[in-house]
Amino acid sequence: MLDLYQSIQYVKGVGPQRAIQLERLGIYTIWDLLYHFPREHQDRSSIRPAHSFAQGDVATVKGMVIAAQESKPRRGLTITKLALQEGAGTFYAVWFNQPYIKKQYPPGKKLLLTGKIDRKYGIPQIQVTDHEVLGEDEGLHSGRIVPIYPLTEQLNQRFFRSLIKTTLDQVGSLAEEFLPDSLLDKYNLPCLPEALREIHFPESQESCQRARRRFILEELFLFELGLSLQKGRIHKKTKTHSYQDDVLTERLSNSLPFTLTEAQKRVWQEIAADLKSPYPMNRLLQGDVGAGKTIIAALALCKAAGAGLQGALMAPTELLAEQHARSIQELLEPLGVKVALLTGSNRRGRKEILASVANGKIQVVIGTHALISEGVNYQNLGLVVVDEQHRFGVRQRAALQDKGSVPDVLVMTATPIPRTLALTLYGDLDVSVIDQLPPGRQKIKTHHLSLAQAGKAVGLIKQQILEGRQAYVVCPLVEESEKIDTQAAVDLYERLKKALVGCSVGLLHGRLKAAEKETTMNDFRQGTLDLLVSTTVIEVGVDVANATAMVIWDAQRFGLAQLHQLRGRVGRSSQQSYCLLVGDPTTHEAKERIAAMCRTQDGFVLAEEDLKLRGPGEFFGTRQSGLPEFKIANLVRDGKEIEQAKKEAEALLSANPNLKSPMHKQLFAQFARRFPDFVKYSDVS
Ligand code: ADP
Ligand code: MG
């Protein structure tokens, strides 16, 4: 008997080649296959005569083949046209580049066809998107409510649909229910085998909806179980370290180059209270770009040092880690606190740094994910800070946490999380918000320029440089082709250098060595460079207050969150700053993104816009938020189901804290399979 967690290769019709194609869709096991849900359904259950449809209708028709014709109007194009008879009428069916059709369906074959109707030539013609042979594979691709799957190029709907059908027939009934019966009853949901059948090949629209609702609730329920388990894990423990009122933090507060804003004071009080508490802090510090989160991190790190503990600050890029190390060193070293930088490429004195971290001589360590690599051991890590936390996953946050015994954790982000989502995303965190910018900041003037108007951008850069300011020009980096994009940055750099005679222009991209990047960034920071042409390596965190112009080349290629982050590199002083979005957007979405940027500077509003435009899967994709990728649930659309799932998960856990009872064996197994990270970093494993 087939086990549902066996490789997909055990399914009839799947050889090694098909298996590779399916793996591209994330389908490795039979279970994965059954859980690859249709993206939509088309109702092809009503079959009418071809001539009863109008031009452009999508129709399902049937008929018997009476003649065939093949033509090759140009290279690479084969048109197959079958004439079919249907009662007293006839119609044509057309396929492109499917030469096997003619042989496969000789006169006499009866076909069921779905496609678009063309009435331009008198006799109705159907441009076939799906077909099946009547009496053979009837009721699979037509003549019913038909599933349409999200697929890759090499896999077509017909193949996939048949595969699902075979698999369902063979093993669908083996899928064992794992949700509590009470949950299914309460929400009137179908059990697993029924739900699987109905989500793929529904009897009716209603049963399809019911099946969908089951899988949405199932997914959210498992996810909420994970969140609750994690929260329980954190809040149960008590700290082994403590903080006293210390002179160091007092001295730092008094020596700051500016006074904290009211919002900064408030969040610092919240954090200081967490540090004092016997339970570990687990707090998200949210504040729009430029709101001044770094100084709060510095205060917390100082407090750790003042209590004889170690503190670590992790940033997503080397540039940012270096910048933080520099500015925090400036603040803390005069107080006698030892601060060190640790990144992957920074090999200088690495051994000594590691030794001093291990024996406690270094009190504050700042770095990239190198901080969580294996050879790094801390003497007594009391505080962990993660900057731009949306760039890291749950796993990395937990890994840094595990370097200490029960450290306090502060994660910071500029990603404005819409209120509707905050609870779900960070159910395990307390939240502090800096909702105020430092005084004297002006609105960043933001405009869109077409490529033909790009000269204006050069004019603005020139003018800003003449006034003693600095500028950035950013060009896009598409990960698939770093090489091509680097070349684009180099070309743009050469062009701008020519256009801006007398100005000093620097170039920054991912292919430069870490030391080269560091030098260029330093030159820019110190004002030796007037203009920095860069790829998105400067996207997050970079802080050069004298920079007042941000020109984003091919702005249509960036997402809204990215555009907002990039714009946040300017407007960091009381000077008027500018952001110019250069490019010729063609899609509706790209136009909307650029328009939204020109309309508002509020990260919150932009996040809501982005959710509307792209949905949470994109904005809060795995890479962006550390969230798992949801298969069927949608965090914006399914607000009601989130509430239900949360309520049910909490109720279940309060009765069965560790899901250890035999009754929940299946549920736990399923949970562990779906969200392995949660299990790894909670106490239930
Ligand atoms: P972000 O929240 O984006 O990380 P930063 O911490 O980089 O912002 O701060 C942005 C800039 O504002 C820095 O140059 C910082 O020195 C400055 N800054 C922070 N707080 C204040 C304040 N209260 N008054 C004036 N300037 C401030
Ligand atoms: Mg920052």
Give 7-49 pLDDT, tens digit per residue: 998 888 898 999 999 999 989 999 999 999 999 898 888 888 8
Residue 553: closest CA among 591, 588, 581, 531 = 581
Closest by CA position to 36, among listed 11, 62, 72: 11
| Residue 569 CB–ligand 1 contact under 6 Å | no
Kindly state if the Cβ of 293 falls inside 6 Å of ligand 1: yes
As a whole number of angstroms, the distance between CA 292 and CA 305 comes to 21
Positions of the chain with pLDDT under 50: 1, 617, 619-625, 684-685
What DSSP line would sit under 109-135, residue for residue?
-EEEEEEEEE-TTSS-EEEEEEEEETT
Is residue 472 classed as helix, strand or coil in its secondary structure? strand
Query: How far does residue 550's CA lie from ligand 2's centre (Å)?
Result: 17
Of 265, 294, 572, the residue with max ligand 1 atoms within 8 A of its CB, to mutate for a pocket test, comes to 294
Q: What's residue 424's pLDDT?
A: 59
Which ligand is located closest to the Cα atom of residue 296?
1
CA distance 268 to 291: 13
Ligand 1 near 573 CB (within 6 A): no
Contacts (Cβ under 8 Å, ≥6 apart) of 167: 11, 30, 33, 34
Closest atom of ligand 1 to 291 CA is: 2
Q: How far is the CA of 454 from the centre of ligand 1 (A)?
A: 31
Residue 610 token pair: 């982005």
Give residue 624's pLDDT.
44
pLDDT at position 621 is 38
pLDDT at 678: 67
Q: Is 289 in the pocket of ligand 1 (CB under 6 A)?
A: yes
| CB-based contacts of 209, cutoff 8 Å, min separation 6 | none
Q: Which atom of ligand 1 is nearest to the CA of 440?
A: 25
CA distance 162 to 23: 18
What span, in angstroms and rounded, lies between the C-alpha atoms of 606 and 608?
5
- The residue written with tokens 């010729």 in the block is 584
Tell the residue nearest (CA) to atom 16 of ligand 1: 292
- Nearest Cα neighbor of 521 from 318, 344, 293, 315 is 318
Ligand 1 atom closest to the Cα of residue 434 is 2
The pLDDT of residue 427 is: 60
261 lines ligand 1 (CB under 6 A): yes
**Domains of the chain (ranges plus CATH)?**
8-40+168-208 (no CATH), 46-143 (2.40.50.140), 216-237+634-680 (no CATH), 247-277+292-413 (3.40.50.300), 445-600 (3.40.50.300)
Amino acid at position 210, single letter: R
Q: From the CA of 275, how far away is ligand 2's center (Å)?
A: 22
Using a cut of 0.75, tell me whether the model's pTM lies above it: no
Nearest to 559 by CA among 473, 641, 619: 619
Question: How many whole angstroms from 442 Cα to the centroid of ligand 1?
Answer: 14
- Cα of 292 vs centre of ligand 1, distance in Å, is 3
The answer to whether 169 and 8 have CB atoms below 8 angstroms apart is: no
345 in Cβ contact with 318 (< 8 Å): yes
What's the Cα-to-Cα distance from 477 to each of 213, 564, 683, rounded to whole Å?
39, 16, 41
* Ligand 1 atom closest to residue 287's alpha carbon, by position in its atom list: 2
Question: Is the Cβ atom of 385 under 6 angstroms away from ligand 1?
Answer: no
Residues with CB under 5 A from ligand 2 (ion): 541
CB-based contact 638:220 (threshold 8 Å): yes
Cα of 294 from ligand 1 centre, angstroms: 7
Does 384 sit in the ligand 1 pocket, CB within 6 Å? no
| Predicted local distance difference test score (pLDDT) of residue 619 | 47
Q: What is the DSSP string of 285-315?
A: EEE-TTS--HHHHHHHHHHHHHTT-EEEEE-
Q: Are 519 and 531 in contact, with CB atoms under 8 Å apart?
A: no
With a 6 A CB cut-off, is 595 part of the ligand 1 pocket? Answer: no
Tens digit of each residue's pLDDT (9 = 90 or more) over 351-367: 999 999 999 999 999 99
Task: Please name which ligand lies nearest the alpha carbon of 288.
Answer: 1
pLDDT of residue 415: 74
Tell me which ligand sits closest to the C-alpha of residue 263: 1
Ligand 2 centroid distance, CA of 79 (Å): 59
Question: Which H helix or E strand runs over 242?
Answer: none
Ligand number, closest to the Cα atom of 328:
1
> Residue 438 Cα, ligand 1 centroid: separation in angstroms?
7
